[in-house]
A and B are shown apart, each in its own frame.
Chain A
Amino acid sequence: MRLGRTLSVALSGLDGRLVDVEAHISAQLPHFSVTGLPDKACGQAPDRVKSAAATSGSPLPASRITVNLSPASLPKQGTGFDVAIALAVLAAHGVIDGRRIARVVHLGELGLDGRVRGVRGILPSVLAAARAGITHVVVPPENVAEAQLVDGVVVHCAPSLATLVAWYAARAGVHPLPVAAPATDDRPATTKTPDLADVVGQPEPRLAIELAAVGQHHILMNGPPGVGKTMLAERLVTVLPPLSRERALQNHAIRSLTGDEIRASELDLTPPFVAPHHSASMAAITGGGSGVVLPGAISRAHGGVLFLDEAGEFKTSVLQQLRQPLESGEVTIARAKQLVRYPAQFQLVMATNPCPCGQAWGKGIDCVCSALEQRSYKAKLSGPLVDRIDIQVVVEPVSRAAFGDDGAGESSAVVRQRVLQARGAQVERWAKHGWETNAQVPGHALRRRPWRLPGDRTAALDRALDIGVLTLRGYDRTLRLAWSCADLGGRTSPALADIELAYTLRGVGREAA
């Protein structure tokens, strides 16, 4: 009989590709098949489409229906092709006008009652459609907000198949689709966001957090349970500069894939804070999963902070897995049939107890761990991963005296102002080299002109290097951090005091590396 065709998008990671959905109806025994490498869920589309069409008042003909998803060699995953398949078939059947749907991308799952249900990955799909020059997309009501984050595309909201059939069957108008209204988050704003002012005392850890924010340094906090390590980590994102629009869009795309609900059509520029539990598997952290390769915690933390509480309790293999993304800012997951890349530029914040019982701080008189237990606990965090951490700070219990300190410490807003200023200085200095923050600057650059510091300032560091107290890597780390200290203080280059502070914060314990 006839042919019908429309468009949809197949995703592989965050990369989308336009898919031609073609339907053909022939005078044969009734049968409905989908070809073009559908996965299990996509291959079950005929059953959903058949029921949805019948309950929407446009039953499918009792004939042979063949749907092809082209390019047929590209794997298609999930239920997001349902709407496109239904419309292509109905166009082939002559129920709707085929010309109207030919250049429109349709995304969404069909319920048996003809309702259009939300699916994952709408944002990256719409981004791909926009890049391919598509101007109209039809999405489920749940996904309107995220689709509207994409510029240059008109978003239409389809509550049901019956609505769609009514739109496309209409005779008049060039494009009869009603445009979806911008979505807003109608939930009441959370009463209180975390603020650095909530932290009592802790001058040194506060400074460490601020410096971490300034230079985007990875940081490790060491201290007994209950002293506020988690509290400090949560507040790091409150003093970070807002995300760039591009990065925020990537971030939303990742959230869209993992099924996080995106409620507003406005980009949220707050850097994400992701804190996986220490029992998390490798796939949960770096991404993976059977069938569909989903992004993991490090990608959800893209542009923001990945916080590993009880870092020593994480599986060693999971911790080691972080090294490559820390270097490259992305993670590559290789499968037999596909290679998926996700962005993963995150700032690593780790918290650890000093020992398994947590009491080995100060003189350590309360600690009940054996020397062996203490050693193996520390060994877990040593090595290549800790080598990438610029700041190590000890967080000690707050004494009651700190309560008296005329109330709260500085608020996040005040600190953030300083951070923004210091970031500005870094951009000015490093922009022509392609770096954004001090943490990204390779060590050799800081040891050479024009950034080499005068010998009288680095004398103590040089000596530590000479006698083997400091490795070259530790030396570089100290310099990087010293530049952040200087940026925070508004100085054009690190003074002696900056270097001394950096030397103190750089941490100890793995210098033999």
Chain B
Amino acid sequence: MDEHLALGAHGEALAARFLRDRGMQILERNWRCPEGEIDVIALDGDCVVVCEVKTRRGTGVGDPLEAVTREKALRLRRLAAAYLRSRPDAVPRVRIDVIGIIARRGQRPLIRHLRAVEA
């Protein structure tokens, strides 16, 4: 279980760096509210990016992106709304991204970034 959590945290750190390298500004990591948690929140220009990160050791149980089901995508929408409500200012644009990471032991991690996913 510990290793599982460690992998998740490692993946989130990788994802944050990945987004930063693409010119985004990281606003929050592991932002929590009663409805759940947002892994990474970033700012891409004037657009707030709500980002879910899924990390796997391999594709034995499927691609990490496949773990984001329709229900999870809908939950991300609700979390995004909750985050926007928590901010005092108005945000011009918002989108939801998903980052899938395959981190095989002894290999460079494989990162796939889906922008503006739909449920």
> Could you say which of A22-30, A72-80, A185-193 contacts chain B?
A22-30
- CB pair A30–B66 under 8 Å, yes or no, is yes
Asked if A402 is at the interface of the complex by the 8 Å CB criterion, the answer is: no
- CB pair A62–B65 under 8 Å, yes or no, is yes
Q: Across the two chains, which residue of chain A brings its CB closest to B116?
A: A28
- CB pair A29–B115 under 8 Å, yes or no, is no
Among A28, A29, A30, A31, residue most surrounded by chain B Cβ atoms (within 10 Å) = A29
Asked if B73 is at the interface of the complex by the 8 Å CB criterion, the answer is: yes
Shortest Cβ distance from B78 into chain A, in angstroms?
Answer: 16
Q: Across the two chains, which residue of chain A brings its CB closest to B62?
A: A62
Interface flags for B90-119 (1: CB within 8 Å of A; 0: not) read 000000001010000000000010110111
Interface size counted on chain B using CB atoms at 8 A: 15
Q: Which of B63, B115, B119 contacts A30 (CB 8 A)?
A: B63
- CB pair A29–B73 under 8 Å, yes or no, is yes
**B115 partner residues in chain A, CB cutoff 8 A:** 27
Asked if B68 is at the interface of the complex by the 8 Å CB criterion, the answer is: yes
- CB pair A62–B63 under 8 Å, yes or no, is yes
Shortest Cβ distance from A452 into chain B, in angstroms?
Answer: 78
Shortest Cβ distance from A310 into chain B, in angstroms?
Answer: 57
**B119 partner residues in chain A, CB cutoff 8 A:** 29
- CB pair A29–B63 under 8 Å, yes or no, is no
**B70 partner residues in chain A, CB cutoff 8 A:** 29, 31
Consensus secondary structure, chain A interface? loop
**B66 partner residues in chain A, CB cutoff 8 A:** 30, 62
Q: With A and B bound together, what is the CA distance between A389 and B82 in angstroms?
A: 80
Shortest Cβ distance from B65 into chain A, in angstroms?
Answer: 5
Interface size counted on chain A using CB atoms at 8 A: 6
- CB pair B63–A28 under 8 Å, yes or no, is no
**B65 partner residues in chain A, CB cutoff 8 A:** 29-30, 62
Give the residues from 58 to 102 in chain B that come closer than 8 angstroms, CB to CB, to chain A: 62-63, 65-66, 68, 70, 73, 98, 100
Q: With A and B bound together, what is the CA distance between A361 and B63 in angstroms?
A: 79
Shortest Cβ distance from A144 into chain B, in angstroms?
Answer: 37
Q: With A and B bound together, what is the CA distance between A333 and B68 in angstroms?
A: 46
Give the residues from 21 to 79 in chain B that come closer than 8 angstroms, CB to CB, to chain A: 62-63, 65-66, 68, 70, 73
**B62 partner residues in chain A, CB cutoff 8 A:** 62
Q: Across the two chains, which residue of chain A brings its CB closest to B69?
A: A29
**A28 partner residues in chain B, CB cutoff 8 A:** 114, 117-118
**B63 partner residues in chain A, CB cutoff 8 A:** 30, 62
Shortest Cβ distance from B63 into chain A, in angstroms?
Answer: 4
Q: With A and B bound together, what is the CA distance between A344 and B63 in angstroms?
A: 54
Shortest Cβ distance from A63 into chain B, in angstroms?
Answer: 8
Q: With A and B bound together, what is the CA distance between A62 and B66 in angstroms?
A: 7
**A30 partner residues in chain B, CB cutoff 8 A:** 63, 65-66, 68
Q: With A and B bound together, what is the CA distance between A27 and B112 in angstroms?
A: 10
Q: Across the two chains, which residue of chain A brings its CB closest to B115?
A: A27
**A62 partner residues in chain B, CB cutoff 8 A:** 62-63, 65-66, 100, 112
**B100 partner residues in chain A, CB cutoff 8 A:** 62
Give the residues from 30 to 76 in chain A that come closer than 8 angstroms, CB to CB, to chain B: 30-31, 62
**A29 partner residues in chain B, CB cutoff 8 A:** 65, 68, 70, 73, 98, 114, 117-119
Q: With A and B bound together, what is the CA distance between A62 and B68 in angstroms?
A: 11
Q: Across the two chains, which residue of chain B brings its CB closest to A27?
A: B114
Q: With A and B bound together, what is the CA distance between A28 and B70 in angstroms?
A: 11
Shortest Cβ distance from A129 into chain B, in angstroms?
Answer: 36
Q: With A and B bound together, what is the CA distance between A30 and B112 in angstroms?
A: 12
Q: Across the two chains, which residue of chain A brings its CB closest to B118?
A: A28
**B112 partner residues in chain A, CB cutoff 8 A:** 62
Q: Across the two chains, which residue of chain A brings its CB closest to B52?
A: A29
Q: Across the two chains, which residue of chain A brings its CB closest to B98?
A: A29
**B73 partner residues in chain A, CB cutoff 8 A:** 29
Shortest Cβ distance from B87 into chain A, in angstroms?
Answer: 26
**A27 partner residues in chain B, CB cutoff 8 A:** 114-115
Shortest Cβ distance from A59 into chain B, in angstroms?
Answer: 9
Shortest Cβ distance from A65 into chain B, in angstroms?
Answer: 12
**A31 partner residues in chain B, CB cutoff 8 A:** 70
Chain B residues near A (Cβ < 8 Å): 62-63, 65-66, 68, 70, 73, 98, 100, 112, 114-115, 117-119
Q: List 10 A-B contacts (CB under 8 A).
A: A27-B114, A28-B117, A29-B68, A29-B117, A29-B118, A30-B65, A30-B68, A31-B70, A62-B62, A62-B65
Chain A residues near B (Cβ < 8 Å): 27-31, 62
The 8 closest A-B pairs by CB, nearest first: A62-B63, A30-B66, A62-B65, A29-B117, A30-B65, A29-B68, A62-B66, A27-B114
